[in-house]
Structure 1
Amino acid sequence: MAATLFLRNSLLHNHPLSKSFSASPYSSKPHSYSIKAAKMLGSEITEEEETNVNEKKKVFVAGATGSTGKRIVDQLLAKGFEVKAGVRDLEKAKSILPDNPALQIVKADVTEGATKLAEVIGDDADAVICATGFRPSWDLLAPWKVDNFGTVNLVEACRKLGVNRFILISSILVNGAAMGQILNPAYIFLNVFGLTLIAKLQAEQYIRKSGINYTIIRPGGLRNDPPRGNIVMEPEDTLYEGSISRDQVAEVAAEALVIQESSYKVVEIVSRIEAPKRSFEDLFGCIKQQ
């Protein structure tokens, strides 16, 4: 039953399926720095009124019109980030993404190479979130073009720009063979489409060797309905079944930008009715850094 649920939700998904900073790289709200203006009076320096200066962090989201990507955009905007949404179809994006002054929509195709992606991402990006996923077709190379080479292109674009924060939405069971799950129906099914999970796994390995501060998020079968139950977060190669609402995946991705403990980690997530509610600091903090 669990495997069937995973397969069904995975297909709906089209399946999207350096050490850690000494301080949290981002804040859940725009940064607010208190600056005291100083004025020289003779030999004395006097302090004037404090002035607040707000600085919003900008995040580039690849795959922003996907079922998970658009939810990530919503989460980031709600948390006060500026967002640059990378999409292949501008008209589609304008029809489904919110009208928000903090959102910029740009045309971006991860298969077109790192140099072009770097131009689109721009030199003002603080982080990149990859929520891309190939569209099922008869092209058996599609998973490699998008989920492998496309992700590698994004990583290389970050390196060109000096962007040192990268979050990838991957999938549980990407390392199913090493987990002894080679006969798991979900593992077999997802690899039928051009060895999708293997393509994702190799992209993960590239990220981990890149030197960029990464968080790799491996969700279970993705559901379009609202969250049911609380998030369960486990280390890599632990979960082989289960599902989770896309809303919760988007929330985990956005929180990863805020929480220091998410750096250099691979986490697997599902939701369970019986699971206790835990803070994201606790969830990420219980996973060992790679």
Structure 2
Amino acid sequence: MASVFCAVSARTHLPPALVHPTAARKLLFRCSAASTMDAPSESSPSAEKKTTTVFVAGSTGRTGKRVVEKLLARGFGVVAGTTDVDKARDSLPQDANLQLVRADVTEGAEKLVEAVRGMDAVVCATGFRRSFDPFAPWKVDNFGTVNLVEACRKAGVTRFVLVSSILVNGAAMSQILNPAYIVLNLLGLTLVAKLQAEKHIRRSGINYTIVRPGGLTDQPPSGNIVMEPEDTLYTGSISREQVAEVAVEALLCPEASFKVVEIISRADAPNRPLKDMFAAIKQN
């Protein structure tokens, strides 16, 4: 189940030169069985390492931060969206391939367009922060995600990865009495809000991957990833490290396109390449 304490992506007006990295190249959708980015062959001195630029919404959240770190480790350029640039500067890696922007997904699509313009892909790892506002889940997890999708459509960004949650469609799964479904929906119908955002993404025409993790832990992985089709898993947990790994791998795997996947980890699960797991899921 998705965490309910994540960073909310934000933005104010910035000159384009401060918003975007230098000339982003077209996204290269490749995936290796070992879940690593292909490196140039030593036998081909002229081979050039392909780079891409990814906007990460919710970059200072506990999952978003790990997404940023893994993207940088895999050679991506990253534009990190955050409500607090100072916090992001202190908590995110010092890296020449990382740029920070202030971007607020709740302020509407028009204000997000310049933040995502020129990006090859967007990873949305936002989540509302607990507050006295009963509408916070809808402002962030529904309308905020919709705003980000619409900004991508306006800016011509065609690849979108969303970190959502298992049980978002719990009612249709006969899980309405599942304690986790009840608890998360007590917080402003969080899962219902996430499901509405998912539906919008699926209608948008954007090449999407929706990743629905189980209960999120901050501990190192204690098992291997299990990936199932949508509306399959209703219990289980997974390390945020593994969630970030799946989100980043989705950008590299054409097998991940137009799919909703649910993930947890189990100690007795086999260690399978993510490419193979994505390929085993039926396309929506």
Q: If the length of structure 2 is used for normalisation, what is the TM-score?
A: 0.87
SS at match of 2:113: helix
> 1:285 maps to what in 2?
279
Identity of aligned residues (%): 63
> 2:217 maps to what in 1?
223
Deviations 1:58-114 (A, max 9, x none): 000000000000000001011110000000001100010000000001101101111
- Determine if contact 1:59/1:84 at 8 Å carries over to the other structure: yes
> 1:117 maps to what in 2?
112
Shift of 1:144: 0.5
Equivalent residue in structure 1 for 2:73, among 74, 78, 84: 78
- Determine if contact 1:31/1:56 at 8 Å carries over to the other structure: no
Deviations 1:174-214 (A, max 9, x none): 00000000000100000001100000000000000000000
Alpha carbons of 1:278 and 1:29: their partners in 2 closer, same or farther (altered >3 Å)?
closer
User: Which AA in structure 2 matches 1:188?
Assistant: I
User: Which AA in structure 2 matches 1:260?
Assistant: P
Shift of 1:15: 6.4
The reply to whether residue 25 of structure 1 matches residue 25 of structure 2 is: no
- Flag structure 1 segments of 5+ consecutive residues without an equivalent: 1-5, 17-22, 34-48
Q: Between Structure 1 and Structure 2, which shows a larger proportion of strand residues?
A: 1
1:166-245 paired onto structure 2 within 5 Å: 166-245=160-239
When the two chains are superposed, the root-mean-square deviation of aligned CA atoms in Å is 2.1
Cα distance in 1 for residues equivalent to 2:215 and 2:175: 16
1:255-270 paired onto structure 2 within 5 Å: 255-270=249-264
Shift of 1:25: 2.4
Larger Rg belongs to? 1
Alpha carbons of 1:220 and 1:186: their partners in 2 closer, same or farther (altered >3 Å)?
same
Cα distance in 2 for residues equivalent to 1:53 and 1:131: 30
Structure 1 stretches of at least 4 aligned residues deviating more than 4 Å after TM superposition = 30-33
> 2:89 maps to what in 1?
94
Cα distance in 2 for residues equivalent to 1:273 and 1:64: 29
Shift of 1:24: 6.0
> 2:5 maps to what in 1?
14
User: Which AA in structure 2 matches 1:286?
Assistant: A
Cα distance in 2 for residues equivalent to 1:231 and 1:129: 20
> 1:42 maps to what in 2?
none
- Determine if contact 1:24/1:260 at 8 Å carries over to the other structure: no
Cα distance in 2 for residues equivalent to 1:224 and 1:212: 31
Deviations 1:141-175 (A, max 9, x none): 00000000000000001101111100000000000
- Determine if contact 1:168/1:215 at 8 Å carries over to the other structure: yes
The reply to whether residue 274 of structure 1 matches residue 268 of structure 2 is: yes
SS at match of 1:156: helix
Shift of 1:32: 5.8
SS at match of 1:282: helix
Cα distance in 1 for residues equivalent to 2:38 and 2:187: 41
Shift of 1:139: 0.7
Paired residues in the alignment total: 260
SS at match of 2:252: coil
- Flag structure 2 segments of 5+ consecutive residues without an equivalent: 8-26
- Determine if contact 1:169/1:217 at 8 Å carries over to the other structure: yes
